[in-house]
Amino acid sequence: MNNEHIFIVRCGEVALKGMNKPYFERMLVERIKKLLKKFDGINVRRHEGLIFVRGDKSLDKQAIIKEISKVFGVASISPAVECESTMESIGDAAVQYMIEAIKERGIKTFKVEAKRADKNFPVKSPEIGRQIGAVVLKECKVLKVDVHNPDCLLFVDVRHDKSYIYQDKIAGFGGLPLGTNGKGLTLLSGGIDSPVATWMMAKRGMIIEAVHFHSYPYTSQRAQEKVEELASIVATYCGRFKMHVINLLPIQEQIVQNCPEEETTIIVRRFMMRIAQKIAEKTGCGMLITGENLGQVASQTAEALVVTDSSVTIPVMRPLIAMDKVDIMDKAQEIGTYETSIQPYEDCCTVFLPKHPVTKPRLERILASESKLECDRLIDEAVEADEIVDIFPQ
């Protein structure tokens, strides 16, 4: 058997990119290299439509798989064995692979599935499967063939220079490599939704920057630390990014003093969006990202979202807009943000919360209320007091 770990990494949607495919593949290779820097002597290269990752046998195999699986654009990963592209070498490697599988997992049934990527190889795919299966049966007496529900589905991938044998296809998240789809500014809170929305846009290849609003001293330092912890979990997928921290309290106090109580939530939201747009313009972000979900709370009704969007001139991405809450919670658990999100620390959105917030706001009334405020001054002062926190992957 080989004295190195070999992993076959398959591209997902990247494979459909036509003439742009080499660019996307290069970005994917660079992202994999970056995440695997912590391991010594890792080699990553593209070859014949696949990405091959190689490392010494002394390295932690499962840790390498875990890191690769976080890379957006990766469809699946297979730990593999490499051999020469001859029927004899493939047969020997398959027998050795199955002997190890019998020792480790006690398998009793198997099936061989072969693919001939090299069309000049003299044996066609179905016959490769039959011949290699016969060799395994002859050498591994305890095994039987089961074509319907085998303990081990053995894949044989025959290529021009080398062939590969593997069993597992470990699913990645798919999507597109980071850096292939612009840059967005996410409004990141301590709730369940916004970290998931951020993750979903990063999965589409978008570079992330974040803004977080707090209302200190009504919200605590621990509440901000919770958001930083959530951001660092997201950063394990999308890499290091900057988070702009804005104290919204002076604006909230002015709104409470000068505007109708039922309109405070929607007006606060409009200020948050305008501040976010100012930061986006300064940092080269082409759009805003929010975790809003249609009908979930008063500020997320269809009418409220229209009024919110009228406060900015750049696009607002809402990847969760039509998802059920249970599906959002499931995704949060999958990506590792859920347990942190449900920690009971206050959020700026709960400060000065009206008893009966308007659910169908009318823009002309909101504008009339905002006319009582020095909006430009309040926004400029908030942006000037921006504190930047560098977020690193966990």
Model confidence at 1: pLDDT above 60? no
Specify the domain boundaries for CATH 3.30.2130.30 within the chain.
Answer: 4-171
**Overall average pLDDT of the 298-307 stretch:** 92
User: What mean pLDDT value characterizes the chain?
Assistant: 93
Tokens describing residue 198: 């951020």
Model confidence at 2: pLDDT above 70? no
**Overall average pLDDT of the 210-237 stretch:** 92
Model confidence at 14: pLDDT above 80? no
Q: What is the DSSP letter of 118?
A: S
List pLDDT tens digits, range 330-360.
999 999 999 999 998 777 666 677 788 899 9
Question: What confidence category does residue 18 fall into, taking pLDDT thresholds of 50, 70 and 90?
Answer: low
Cα separation, 136 vs 156, whole angstroms: 13
Is there a binding annotation on residue 240? Answer: no
Q: DSSP letter string over 342-391?
A: TS----GGGTT--SS--SS--HHHHHHHHTTS-HHHHHHHHHHT-EEEEE
Question: What confidence category does residue 219 fall into, taking pLDDT thresholds of 50, 70 and 90?
Answer: confident
CATH topology (fold) of 4-171? VC0802-like (3.30.2130)
Report the pLDDT value the prediction gives residue 284, as an integer from 0 to 100.
Answer: 97
Element (H, E) at 15: none
Model confidence at 155: pLDDT above 90? yes
Q: What is the dihedral of CA 62, 65, 70, 75, to 10 degrees?
A: -140
**Overall average pLDDT of the 47-71 stretch:** 92
Model confidence at 392: pLDDT above 70? yes
Strand partners, 184: 208, 287
Tokens describing residue 247: 């104290």
**Overall average pLDDT of the 29-40 stretch:** 93
Is there a binding annotation on residue 188? Answer: yes
Is there a binding annotation on residue 300? Answer: yes
Is there a binding annotation on residue 244? Answer: no
Is there a binding annotation on residue 291? Answer: yes
Specify the domain boundaries for CATH 3.40.50.620 within the chain.
Answer: 183-391
Q: Which CATH architecture has domain 183-391?
A: 3-Layer(aba) Sandwich (3.40)
Report the pLDDT value the prediction gives residue 353, as an integer from 0 to 100.
Answer: 73
* Residues in Cβ contact with 393 at an 8 Å cutoff, skipping those fewer than 6 apart: 232, 235, 236, 239, 240
Model confidence at 305: pLDDT above 60? yes
Give the lowest-confidence range in 96-105, 227-236, 296-305, 371-380.
Answer: 296-305
Report the pLDDT value the prediction gives residue 23, as an integer from 0 to 100.
Answer: 85
Strand partners, 126: none
- Residue 164 phi/psi, 5-degree rounding, is -135, 140
Q: What is the pTM of this model?
A: 0.90
Report the pLDDT value the prediction gives residue 17, as an integer from 0 to 100.
Answer: 66
Is there a binding annotation on residue 305? Answer: no
Question: What confidence category does residue 218 fall into, taking pLDDT thresholds of 50, 70 and 90?
Answer: confident
Is there a binding annotation on residue 133? Answer: no
